[in-house]
Structure 1
């Protein structure tokens, strides 16, 4: 075999390996960026009020999203006739949920926030059945029972009580997960033709202005007392967690099946719990680890129904 032929053969062997490595690294990047988001929020709201923090995060991310849209020549504005949907996305996906997440993290640990938000696929399943008339399998119902039963035990282990502020933080985070789930389902029904970049760019800017303006009026933030650590957290949330994680996720959409990629929502809470516990000096008890694993297992079952998997095997 000639040297040229050998080199060509070697390249053909390496290319799939390199492509797989790149895909794995991108997947890890998304899990890390979204897994550290919760700790970033926790640090940001240490010295920045929730409304103001959410607004600043989006205002930092907005120019980068616009630049990304211009480079790819994607439209910035939603298609004509979808103005109502645009308002819905701006309010129900970006504005209200991210304020609720920031508010929740003033009372709840970053790891628990990530676990609570990992319930979102279950809410997507429920809304899909109600609004899109999609079938729910028995195994998915079992997964929901396992997941929420484990979540109840996690809240007991963490000591969250009805008469404590943490309870309202938990409700705020779950409400944010419900809103995001509803947006995903409505988007599947009404916004499938809108590019992912268009979907994010202008709504994130308007949401940022709205949240920041409300924060100035209602919270009267004292910028002189904002710590350097909180500023760095906001910059990280705006650039890395929002834009960087989004770009990596966007690339993975073309490399992986939606089912495989959706497991990001099962994996990133693991990173969040570990990183958050390390930063906040919290001990991960065996009970918390067990119930967290059961929670994520239950929600994983809802994403890949056993009945469908067996049918595909046959």
Structure 2
């Protein structure tokens, strides 16, 4: 009886954490869209990630002391490079793009990250299965359908920018599984957010962004606070916990639930129009991503079962290290590694 109660409680915790990741990370597109209404996109991202890094790093110091931040110079550089690719370029370009396109469209295009990861694997001669490649072709067909809007030049530019952001995220995720990273996942995220935030400040200032506090609306400030506390900290904590307590097949579903949440919130809160083109193109992308994730999960599961009979593996884990989740709302690498 006690075992059943424990299992039920564990199941509720898993679904609760998954619901947080679904809604919180899906809502970050809306948060960014509202923030950039009156805040400079890159400078607002800088404030977001530097603030989140200070809060997360301070919490980690209080809880585990300086030992949590022990890392080699090579590991620090690895986390710094990931932060620049994932946050400075990835999130920075997303924020810029959301000035010109809807939050829902941006989210659906970002859902293509797992597809680009497979493309990079193919380039380095790690040939995926035929079904994985089929999923990539289907998903990229959806990306093409969404990209060919035939609309204004500003919207076309926004689409190009968000696609470049997706490629940058994919490169950052791809490299994160292949270069030295700090052992502690929270220390890794702290470095990524701090370096990424500093990079955004330098890039934004260099491109002429200036912060006029008097011109910022209260709703943009509230959106920024939400992104710091809820998007970057609560969402990341829930995701980190899931990595060690839930099957990867379940955790990976966020990759195609987040865009659906983003589209719904954009329509409900901002009154964004969901056109047939967005519906069909978005659905095609999500089908492709689902095919890629399910095929890769089965391949990895069979490989692990062949070693020791275990049915699930950790997400983005290196031998002898803690799970390595992304710093903030970034699709993790498809390559799964056991401890």
The alignment's TM-score, normalised by the length of structure 2, stands at 0.81
Q: 1:114 to 1:81 in 2, by over 3 A?
A: same
Give the structure 2 partner of residue 243 of structure 1: 233
Deviating more after overlay: 86-95 vs 267-276: 86-95
Query: Which residue in the other structure is 1:150 paired with?
Result: 142
1:61 corresponds in structure 2 to 52
Gaps of 5+ in 1: 1-8
Q: Which residue of 2 aligns with 1:40?
A: 31
d(CA) in 2 for partners of 1:191, 1:160: 44
Q: 1:282 — aligned with what?
A: 272
Report deviation, 1:105: 0.5
CA shift at 1:152, angstroms? 2.2
1:287 Cα deviation (Å)?
A: 4.7
Greater relative contact order (Cα < 8 A, sep 6+): 1
Give 1:46 shift. 0.3
C-alpha root-mean-square deviation of aligned residues, in Å? 2.6
Superposed CA deviations along residues 160-185 of structure 1, whole A, max 9, x for unmatched, are 54x61112211211111111111112
Please, which of 80, 88, 100 is the counterpart of residue 95 of structure 1? Answer: 88
Please state whether the residue corresponding to 1:267 is helix, strand or coil: helix
Judging changes above 3 Å, is the alpha-carbon distance between structure 1 residues 86 and 23 closer, same or farther for their aligned structure 2 residues?
closer
Higher Rg: 1
Deviations 1:72-114 (A, max 9, x none): 4463364233354244223212212221111011111100111
Question: In the aligned structure 2, how far is the partner of 1:255 from the partner of 1:122?
Answer: 26
Structure 1 distance, partners of 2:69, 2:95, is 27
Verify: 1:19 aligned to 2:10, yes or no.
yes
Aligned runs of 1:116-265 on 2, under 5 Å?
116-131=109-124, 133-156=125-148, 159-161=149-151, 164-191=153-180, 194-216=183-205, 218-265=208-255
Which structure features the higher share of helix residues? 1
Deviates more, 1:241-250 or 1:178-187: 178-187
CA distance 1:67–1:193, change in 2 (3 Å)? closer
Q: More deviation in 285-294 or 88-97?
A: 285-294
SS of the counterpart of 1:238?
Answer: helix
Alignment match, 1:109: 102
Q: Which residue is 1:267 aligned to?
A: 257
User: Contact conserved, 1:79 with 1:194, CA < 8 A, in 2?
Assistant: no
Number of corresponding residues? 301
User: How far apart, in 2, do the equivalents of 1:62 and 1:37 lie?
Assistant: 17
Deviates more, 1:198-207 or 1:224-233: 198-207
Please list, as runs of the form range in 1=range in 2, the aligned pairs for 1:287-306 lying within 5 A after superposition. 287-305=277-295
Compared with structure 1, are the counterparts of its residues 177 and 305 closer, same or farther at alpha carbon in structure 2 (3 Å cutoff)? same
Contact 2:136 2:289 in 1 (8 A): yes
Structure 2 CA distance for partners of 1:289 and 1:221, relative to 1, 3 Å? same
Give per-residue Cα distances to partners, 1:120-168, cap 9 Å, x unaligned.
Answer: 001112223334x433111112111211212222334xx354x611122
TM-score calculated relative to the size of structure 1: 0.87
CA contact (8 A) 2:132 2:291 kept: yes
CA change 1:232–1:77 in 2 (3 A) is: farther
| Alignment CA distance shift 1:59-1:150 (3 Å) | same
- Per the alignment, do residues 110 and 299 of structure 1 end up closer, same or farther by CA in structure 2, a change over 3 Å counting? same
Q: Secondary structure at the match of 1:51?
A: helix
Whole-angstrom distance in 1 between the partners of 2:265 and 2:11: 27
